[in-house]
Amino acid sequence: MSRRCSARTSLPQSSCVQGRRHRDGREHAGHIRSVHTVVLPAVRPSTLCTSSRAGRQTSQHTHPRNLVKKKDAAGSRKTQNTPQDGTDSLAPLRAICQRFEEENTALMRKIIKDEKTSMEKATEKLQQYNKAGCNAQAVTSWGERQLREAEQDLRETREKGEQRLKELQNQLDACDHKLRDAHKELHQLREYRDREHSVRVLQVADLQRQLQSLTDTYQDHLSDVEALAKADLQNLLKNSENQKDIILQKITQHHIDLLPPSIKRICLENQQMRKDIAVHQKVIGEIKKQLVNLRASRKSLQTSAREEIDKMCHGLLLQGSREKERQTKTHRTVELWFGSLERGLQKAAVFQRKMWCSTSQ
């Protein structure tokens, strides 16, 4: 019975909580949504006991068993008050009492069943309300945590935005400063273009003409100076050569004058021998050339003679022998001539060697 009473007393409280939620939702409609904590009222044991007593007192009067007892008592009183007419008058009353008892038992079972179902539903609702309260508290704590994180993010983003804004402001100030400097420079350039540019152009053209004329005159003077320098240099070289020859002649003449007459005679002989050696060297060169030509002609004659011998027929062998004798004679004469030339060259070489030895002494 205490559980029934606690269920009956807790149901209105949950309905009150739902009504409060609905009313709070209607009051806060149209405003910024925020997380509200919903706290379910806790049912104390004292209130459960008092409610169970009150329910027990009220249920004693309205319970079906008590009603049946009251009816039976009233029926017994009526039977006591009515005279006993016999068994015939009691039979329908007993049937009615039996039917009432059956109906009362069925009604009592139905009431017990309804009470069980209502008790189960009430306990289930209480569990759901407790879970909803825990979930609501978790949701509120999660919402508060999310709100704190969002506020922290907002503060950080504001700080970053302010810092970025300061940087951009500094950049903007620097750009403005550069822009002002550029405007000043542009103004100066425009003034220069409007006022001084034409004058400077004329000055530049005049300076270019002067420079061109100076370069032309410089080139003319340079060519003249180069010609004079070359002429002077050639004259100086000639004079220096002449002076050098004169000095050498004087020095040699002085040294020759200091020499004895025998040495002078030897020097003259040496000079004459040098001239003779040069002449003999020329002759030797010509003889060497002739010798080379003769050797080449000898080889050609030998090859031609062999070819002619091969071409001759068998009937001209006698003539071939005579020609061979003639060729041998010519070969002998050529060899003798070559031998005389070689002996002459050897004699010339010996003579030249003796002359060099005498000059060296």
Q: What is the pLDDT of residue 66?
A: 52
What is the overall mean pLDDT for the chain?
71
pLDDT score recorded for residue 279: 85
Amino acid at 144: E
**Cα dihedral angle (235, 236, 239, 244), rounded to 10 degrees?**
-150
Contact yes or no for 39/94 (Cβ under 8 A): no
Residue 274 CA to residue 38 CA, distance in Å, equals 145
Which pLDDT does position 56 carry in this prediction? 44
d(CA 211, CA 245): 50
* Token pair listed for 178: 């550069």
pLDDT digits (tens, 9 = 90+) for 152-182: 989 999 999 899 899 999 999 998 999 999 8
Burial (CB < 10 A; 0-12, 13-18, 19+), residue 108, is: middle
Q: Pick out the chain residues at pLDDT < 70.
A: 1-88, 305-327, 329-331, 333-334, 337-338, 340-342, 344-345, 348-349, 351-361
pLDDT of residue 309: 62
Sequence spans of domains, the chain: 2-26+38-75+92-156, 257-303+341-361
Give the span between the Cα atoms of 143 and 137, in whole angstroms: 10
Dig out the tokens for 231 from the structure: 């002429």
Q: pTM for this structure?
A: 0.24
Tens-place pLDDT, residues 320-332:
556 666 667 666 7
Cα 40 from Cα 53, distance rounded (Å)? 24
CA gap 86, 189 in Å, rounded: 146
> Tens digit of pLDDT for each residue in 29-48?
343 333 333 333 443 434 33
